[in-house]
Chains A and B, each alone.
Chain A
Amino acid sequence: MSNFFDTLSVLILFSSFILMANKMTKSYIKTFRIQSMLLALAVGSMAIKSIIEEGRFDVLVVCLLIIILKVIYIPNLLNKAYAKAEYKVEKDFILNIPILVLVCCGLVVFCYFCLSTIDGINDGVINVQVVNSISVILIGLFFMISRKKAIGQIIGFLVIENGIFITAMFSTQGMPFIVDMGIFIDMLTAVMILGIMVFKINEEFDSIDIDKLNNLKG
């Protein structure tokens, strides 16, 4: 079982590398959907394990919520926002893609070294799952600063959320149920608010380029 989760965590990490290498906003959304599917797979297997071993069904509910929200609803919402706020400039990133991917590799190595010095997380052997999932968070943060468009920032935020979720899953076998639910509600509201703001920014500024938000200084 632990091999299976190791593989999944590597796949989720790999999907965030793919996200970093994407050029088009449309493919960001697709990659995010794939990552959420992998996340749902991980949580789903965890759910089956907990039903068999302890008879708890709450992890299964969390898994279903991930499928409904992160795999279906939020990507559709973002696709809609993208379709309405159309723009032409395609070059969206600050550095070129090979450099961005190299920096991501650096982040994973950094994570590995940092976590290897902390005892308690790893009992003798380095816990690869936690290293991978924290790397996903860092890559999400880096994705946010490497993209100029508003939707890129929203996707970065969602990837950070995904990363935090799998960190919780892999390191602590899940947070208390009520906390998980609360996180979902918060995340959903956040994405909806950001979606509405993308529309408003598009109306006011005639584009969703974040570089144009530079009126407030000092």
Chain B
Amino acid sequence: MGIFLVSVPVIAVLMFILFKNSRIQHIISLVASSLSIIIAVYLTRNVMLFHSVSYSAWGGIFYIDYLSIIVLDIVLLISLIVSIYSIGYMETEIKHGKIDRSRLSLYYILMYSFIFTMVLALTVKNMGIMWIAIEGTTLSSAFLVGFYNDKCSLEAAWKYVIICSVGIAIAMLGIIFLHLSSIGVLESQQFLDWTALYDNAKSLKSPIVKLAFIFILIGFGTKTGLAPMHTWLPDAHSQAPSPISALLSGVLLNSAMYGIIRAVAIVNRNLGSSIYTGRLLIALGILSIFTAAICILAQKDYKRLLAYSSIEHMGIIAVGIGIFTPLSIFGALLHMINHSLTKSMLFLTSGNILQKYDTKQISKIKGALKLLPVSGIVFLLGLFAIAGMPPFSVFASEFNIIVSIFVAKRFFVGSAFILLLAIIFAGIAVNLFKIFYGNNQEEDLQRGETNIPGTVAIVVLLVVITITGLFIPNELKDLITQAQNIIIGM
């Protein structure tokens, strides 16, 4: 049954090509994403019962364990919410004349190919095919970033494809070196197989593994948005349609981070310590948070500000993985979940604001709380959440990571980390909180929400991140602990 998970988006794409009526297309999209969620629940249950799920079809490349199921669940949950939100958002865009109705089917086709490539990346155990799928995510989302076809979005799409493709090509070089280090250790049918590499990690040739890790980190790090390879990210996130920004930020970055985590697990097991990977990851992580802090302080565009905040949070996750103690890995994985939910909520809300005011400039927006009673409040609370205020869940995971840094006696890293987080909090507060108050000068804007189902989905997300901030369900804790054991190698 799990194999159907990969085929659901493929069938959906075929249906979108067959049926051109937009009402039917909305229904197909909803059905496909709900079906995926049902399969995901089934798979999660199986993983919890049997530790891993693998199928013999296609040469046995399908393999899901605790680590992949966490990221996979995030992908499918956010796709469901995005597909609910897309209906109202795209209808409004069509009504405002931003796009033709005929482009709606292109939108859905590309969106579901994008989801397909991400699901594929997370369900295979062959590192080569995982690489192909992650490169596929770039290709399928390129035209989504450039969906509006104007100067800015074309520029963003060009940068996105060029930078990410080259980055990913470098990751391929890393995977080739990983393959080279395993020649003579693995059988030919096991080549590039993650489980085989992991089981035999101790006998791989260490110098080549080290070289491979640098290339993989730079390659997938480009896609993850780690500084200094982050330059495509703010452009792409700000120019894409808002539901796609939510997918890019909430899901795509995690899928690429997942590739890095898989490599880290092999390399650390091979070298017997985490010093080598830890130094690289912590350096890139702190640099990302630093870059984000500077850019957030001087930001004038709210979607770009949210994009820089994604860079910051990917940096936080990288630091968590770099510290490599059970507590920090737990924090990093939890942070992955929390960041995805919170950030996609914020991007979707920013879509509502963008449609109401028709501008991305912070200075042109006033009185958001009055004009958008629900979205305004959600955006305000969401900003507190993403900046790391209790009681929201981002606080819980950030706190975990900070504690783990100090427990590992990395005082300098810890202080820099806290200082930068404080700067980012101040940056978000100074820049964005002024949009909520005051009176709008233009009188023709009407009060009220346009996208009711989408707004309901956003509110559900807000409730979820508030509850998981207060307590974590035991099942989730179990899942994350098991995934953390996989990474650490217990």
The interface of chain A, by Cβ under 8 A from chain B, is 118-121, 134, 137, 141, 144, 150, 153, 157, 160-161, 164, 167-168, 171-172, 175-176, 178-179, 182-183, 185-186, 189-190, 193-194, 197, 200-201, 204-205, 210, 213-216, 218
Contacts and interface: CB of A to CB of B under 8 A. Distances in A.
A218 B295 contact: yes
Given A200-B149, A213-B155, A215-B155, A176 B191 contact: yes
Contact of B176 (A119, A164, A189, A218): A164
Nearest to B208: A120
Contact of A182 (B132, B146, B207, B295): B132
B172 A118 contact: no
Interface of B is mostly: helix
Contacts of B192: 175-176, 179
B65 interface: no
B143 A193 contact: yes
- Of the four ranges (under 10, 10 to 19, 20 to 34, 35 or more), the interface on chain B belongs to 35 or more
Interface in B263-283: none
B342 to A, nearest CB: 23
Contacts of B59: 178
Contact of A157 (B169, B191, B208, B238): B169
Given A141-B166, A164-B176, A197-B146, A179 B139 contact: no
B139 A218 contact: no
A157 B181 contact: no
B314 interface: no
Interface string B147-160: 00111101111110
A186 B139 contact: yes
Given A190-B139, A193-B161, A197-B157, A182 B128 contact: yes
Contacts of B162: 144, 153, 157, 194
Contacts of B191: 175-176
Contact of A164 (B138, B151, B169, B235): B169
Interface stretch (B96-104, B296-304, B421-429): B296-304
User: Which of A118, A167, A176, A189 counts the most B-chain CB atoms under 10 A from its CB?
Assistant: A176
Nearest to A193: B142
B135 A218 contact: no
B211 interface: yes
A164 to B, nearest CB: 5
A201 B173 contact: no
B129 interface: yes
When A and B form their complex, which 9 residue pairs have the shortest distance between CB atoms, in order from nearest? Answer: A179-B128, A182-B132, A120-B205, A213-B155, A216-B235, A186-B135, A120-B208, A120-B207, A118-B207
A172 B183 contact: yes
Contacts of B126: 176, 178-179
A95 to B, nearest CB: 20
Interface of A is mostly: helix
Contacts of A190: 135, 138-139, 161, 165
Contact of A213 (B158, B166, B179): B158
B181 A218 contact: no
Interface in B192-225: 192, 205-208, 211
A194 B159 CA distance: 11
Given A137-B173, A201-B154, A218-B298, 13 more contacts: A120-B180, A120-B206, A164-B169, A171-B176, A171-B180, A175-B176, A175-B191, A179-B128, A179-B192, A205-B151, A213-B155, A214-B155, A218-B300
Contact of A179 (B129, B158, B161): B129
A183 B132 contact: yes
A206 to B, nearest CB: 11
B219 to A, nearest CB: 11
Contacts of A168: 176, 179
A3 to B, nearest CB: 22
16 contacts: A121-B207, A121-B208, A161-B169, A164-B176, A168-B176, A178-B129, A179-B128, A183-B172, A186-B136, A197-B157, A204-B154, A213-B154, A213-B158, A213-B159, A215-B155, A216-B238
A158 to B, nearest CB: 10
B239 interface: yes
Interface string B100-134: 00000000000000000000000000101101100
A181 to B, nearest CB: 9
B15 to A, nearest CB: 22
A193 B143 CA distance: 8
Interface string B332-360: 00000000000000000000000000000
Contacts of A134: 173
B144 to A, nearest CB: 12
A153 B159 CA distance: 11
Contact of B211 (A118, A205, A214): A118
A194 B161 contact: yes
A3 B173 CA distance: 24
A200 B211 CA distance: 39
B54 to A, nearest CB: 17
A184 B318 CA distance: 31
Nearest to A121: B208
B296 to A, nearest CB: 11
Contacts of A183: 132, 172
Nearest to B127: A179
A182 B139 CA distance: 13
Contact of B173 (A119, A157, A164, A186): A164
Given A161-B169, A190-B139, A204-B154, A178 B211 contact: no
B179 A200 contact: no
Interface string B176-192: 11011101000000011
Given A121-B208, A186-B135, A201 B304 contact: no
Contact of B155 (A157, A167, A175, A216): A216
Contacts of A153: 162
Contacts of A189: 136, 139
Interface string B41-68: 0000000000000000001000000000
